[in-house]
Amino acid sequence: MPLRTRRRRSLATTGLLALLTAAALSTAPPAAADPGNAADPGNAAGIGNAADTWNEVGSDRADPLTESQGLASVEVPANSPNRYTGIGTIPLDVAARGWNHVGDPDASYDGHYIEPYQRDSGDTKMFRVQAPDGGWSEYVHTLGPGEALNNSWVAISPDGRWMLSGEYGTMSRLLVFPTPGVNPDTSPSADLPHVSSVTLDHAVRDVQGCDFSGPTTLLCSSDDPEGSLFGITKPLLQIDLSDEPNGTADVSGHVTALRQLPLRSGCSGAFEAQGVDYDRRTGTLRVIVMSPGFCVLTDSMTYRFTRG
């Protein structure tokens, strides 16, 4: 698996001023879908075989600066607001040290909140942890052989002990780490180890976020622009694990494409599927989809789904 340094799009690299002057994009007719959305039976392995169906029930505008990368529901302390990440949420001191991209965060059931960070180059990735008392700490992981530099998302297991993370590109595995700040075997002064993996029975592409909806079930957003893996672009994926993740042995994951994420905008062009969150308190799934062109500023959305 080659080392890839491609990062998810951020406003810093897209060029906000260029978008503001792209008048042609703002006058284009609504775009219902990306190219290649037609189902291809020959490539549609795993589509529609999961028991759950997720129906869209609403949406909220996603701010392109502060809500464009990911989101997480936080249960502790009670009545905590939902958390979002974007280029505008990166602290200046963190960015000054080269950590200039933040991915899709997650929170453990005891209130630890974790954000994944990456740099443009190097051999490390970083996880920034806020404890329930409000204090922050940083845990750095040194890349292993063949591990991509990307640090797109984190998903904390329901028992809190293990944290899954993903790499961008076409991948057949997810990485498992001890949850920094929660697992007693972790320390900010020690390298955070990659202890096991989830081996997938079907390749996935450009996964931007995952969250646990149960002890062995993940829901993931894919920014796949091609559609060759499942017959649709930008799919919502379900990954059913053979066992709860652990730090001693790999587990397998069965991948199912549930549906295409909503792709609606006043501009035409390439949408970008971003982070995902499952709120177990309400059973609500939320997924961020950023609009193309100028409309990234106006009609990017966090879509809400419930089980059908």
Q: Which among 204, 260, 254 has a CA at the least distance from the CA of 229?
A: 204
**pLDDT level of residue 50 (50, 70, 90 thresholds):** low
CB 71 within 8 A of CB 302: yes
Per-residue model confidence (pLDDT) at position 42: 35
* pLDDT(188) > 80: yes
Domain regions of the chain by residue span: 49-307
- Average pLDDT of span 218-237: 98
Least confident of 29-43, 87-101, 107-121, 224-238: 29-43
- CA max distance for the chain: 55
Q: Which among 126, 71, 147, 80 has a CA at the least distance from the CA of 301?
A: 71
**pLDDT level of residue 37 (50, 70, 90 thresholds):** very low
Strands 251-260 and 196-205: parallel
CB 105 within 8 A of CB 115: yes
* pLDDT(14) > 70: no
Q: CA–CA separation, 139 vs 124, rounded Å?
A: 10
Span 143-162, pLDDT tens digits: 999 999 999 999 999 999 99
**pLDDT level of residue 64 (50, 70, 90 thresholds):** very high
Structure tokens at 105: 């965060």
Q: Which DSSP string do the residues of 154-217 spell out, in sequence order?
A: EEE-TTSSEEEE--SSEEEEEEEEEPTTTSTT--TTSPPP--EEEEEEEEEE-EEEEEEEETTE
DSSP annotation of 119 reads -
Span 239-291, pLDDT tens digits: 999 999 999 999 999 999 999 999 999 999 999 999 999 999 999 999 999 99
Strands 106-107 and 284-290: unpaired
CATH 2.120.10 fits 49-307, yes or no: yes
Residues facing residue 55 across a β-bridge: 306
* pLDDT(138) > 70: yes
**pLDDT level of residue 78 (50, 70, 90 thresholds):** confident
Q: CA–CA separation, 126 vs 225, rounded Å?
A: 27
Per-residue model confidence (pLDDT) at position 295: 98
Least confident of 42-46, 49-53, 112-116, 171-175: 42-46
Q: What is the pTM of this model?
A: 0.87
Residue 58's CB is within 10 A of a number of other CB atoms, namely 12
Per-residue model confidence (pLDDT) at position 46: 54
Span 109-128, pLDDT tens digits: 999 999 999 999 999 999 99
- Average pLDDT of span 37-46: 40
